[in-house]
């Protein structure tokens, strides 16, 4: 296992234990977890709504701290969702990076925000 896989596996185990201790497995089905993750992503987005790109890149420390917690919420629900579906998140991310490298070859996509099918 890579360091990232080890970290995700440890996090997955801790989340599973956390949910079990609270008898929350009954609520942690893929639908509920996906919806909870989307809700948390919305809360994350709220921190950036109406900001200029410069303001978004230079958040005050208090706002950065809040954003960090919202990022953590999204990650925790994502890891839990993957656990419930038997998805190895680190392996899926590695696979997706390889697929994206094929879709967005450097020579065609460098410096562009163009979707792969329009390159």
| Residue pLDDT, tens place only, 46-85 | 999 999 999 999 999 999 999 999 999 999 999 999 999 9
d(CA 114, CA 112): 5
Q: How confident is the model at residue 15 (pLDDT cuts 50, 70, 90)?
A: very high
Q: Which two tokens stand for residue 33?
A: 């977890």
With a CB cutoff of 8 Å and minimum separation 6, the contacts of 30 are 81, 84, 85
**Which pLDDT score, from 0 to 100, does residue 57 have?**
98
d(CA 29, CA 20): 13
Fold of 3-87: Helix Hairpins (1.10.287)
> Is residue 19 a contact partner of residue 83, using CB atoms and an 8 Å limit?
no
**Which pLDDT score, from 0 to 100, does residue 83 have?**
98
**Which pLDDT score, from 0 to 100, does residue 37 have?**
98
Q: Give the residue extent of every domain in the chain.
A: 3-87
> Is residue 91 a contact partner of residue 3, using CB atoms and an 8 Å limit?
no
């Amino acid at each position: 296992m890579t360091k990232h896989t080890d970290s995700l596996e440890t996090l997955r185990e801790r989340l599973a234990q956390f949910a079990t201790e609270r008898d929350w497995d009954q609520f942690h089905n893929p639908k509920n977890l996906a919806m909870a993750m989307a809700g948390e992503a919305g809360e994350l987005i709220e921190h950036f709504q109406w900001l200029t790109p410069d303001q978004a890149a230079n958040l005050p420390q208090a706002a950065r701290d809040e954003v960090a917690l919202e990022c953590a919420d999204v990650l925790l629900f994502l890891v839990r969702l993957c656990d419930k579906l038997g998805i190895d998140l680190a392996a899926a991310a590695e696979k997706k990076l390889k697929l994206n490298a094929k879709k967005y070859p450097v020579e065609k996509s460098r410096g562009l925000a163009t979707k792969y099918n329009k390159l």
